[in-house]
Amino acid sequence: MSQKIFTHVYANGMVLLAEPNPSLESVAFTFLSPSGCRYDPIDQAGLATMSADMALRGAGNRDSRQFINDLETLGVNKHEAVTNAHTSFSGAMLAENLSPALDIYADLLRRPVLPNDKLEEARQVVLLELVAIEDDPSHKVMLELRRRHYPDPYGRSSQGDLAGIQSITQQDVERYCRNRYRPQGTILGVAGKFDWEQLRDHVGELFGDWPEGREEDIAETEIGEKIVHLEHDSSQTQIGIAYESVAYSNPDYFQASGAIGVLSGGMSSRLFTEVREKRGLCYSVYATPHSLEHRGAVLCYAGTSAERAQETLDVTLGELVRLSQGVEAAELDRLKARIKSGLIMQQESSSARSSSLARDWHHLKRGRTLEEVGEIVDRLSCETINKYLAEHPARDFTIVTLGQQPLEVTVGVS
């Protein structure tokens, strides 16, 4: 495993983190731009996603077709996504093609074409993504769960809403990219085979004179109703449950994450065993930690039939509450084995590492090596996790159900 992470902060605030792995012939990069959906105007939900789509339709002197052709010629396997905090642009390729690929993405971030004649095409793409949510009730209930659990704008969905998407103009997209695609807050993670000094200097040439943008304050709203039912004519019921946890930056994060790994990680986990295997209550059930910068949550999901929905909710809530009684040594041993297998696979994936480096800086203002993570995992014990669980029991649940009938909630609601 590599034990070195290089870091450089440019004068304009952009950050570069890079982890070399000379055993690979590939390299990957991840840009995190501070242009997530939390920055959408309240009446233009979906602007971040629509702006990202437009930015991919030509950059620098390349039109939409040339942009794609140049990336394919370099063999770049690209991906992009809009989250609450960021728009991410990432790519993986042969190591020899990193510099020209970064040249293209410098144009994307600094000089997007944003062709006016493609605005309606971009709008239709975003509208189709919004409509698709209606055909995916499990996705819909989890989007609503985050919206209900976090204060606005931190619980927003990047898909936006119909009225917001329909209102967006060419000037709105241009203004958004001009104000939000900027160096301060932009993080570039690189992992794989590269020369550090050459990479640092090349990124400096591409982005060093990128002028700083204007910072905008975010107004946080109060959290609304926490127990919500969405009517949906279906023989199935979707259940979403959330409760407060700690953020990734918190020293206790791995204690919290370890506990959730025991609850929901593999076919021997408590939720799978108690809710699905023993009782046959549902076809899917899981829990996962979720983190923003300064707050965290545990998000849980169960999909079941309408007839067994109430029992599924009751048993799932019961397992969440029972977790505060502690985990056992055998459960922790299985969890550690799964985590270490995941670390080994991440070591072999330059894409996974570039993304992790960028995420670490966002939350921690530094990068974590896999060795450091492995050492943290090794130090996990039943005593440390159980101490955390005793101090942070599952309670004050946010619950969203989607189906024919609302369910009764009698546990963990203040």
Nearest to 55 by CA among 214, 209, 174: 174
**Which of the four pLDDT bands, split at 50, 70 and 90, describes residue 412?**
low
Distance from C-alpha of 196 to C-alpha of 218, rounded to nearest angstrom = 36
Q: Percentage of the chain with pLDDT > 70?
A: 99
pLDDT digits (tens, 9 = 90+) for 241-278: 999 999 999 999 999 999 999 999 778 899 999 999 89
Q: What is the DSSP letter of 306?
A: G
Domains in the chain with CATH codes: 6-207 (3.30.830.10), 227-403 (3.30.830.10)
**Angle formed at CA 325 by CA 329 and CA 138, multiple of 5 degrees:** 95
Region 212-237 average pLDDT: 88
Region 103-120 average pLDDT: 98
Distance from C-alpha of 47 to C-alpha of 54, rounded to nearest angstrom = 10
pLDDT digits (tens, 9 = 90+) for 293-317: 999 999 999 999 999 999 999 999 9
DSSP assignments along 74-94, one per residue: TT-EEEEEE-SS-EEEEEEEE
Region 38-51 average pLDDT: 97
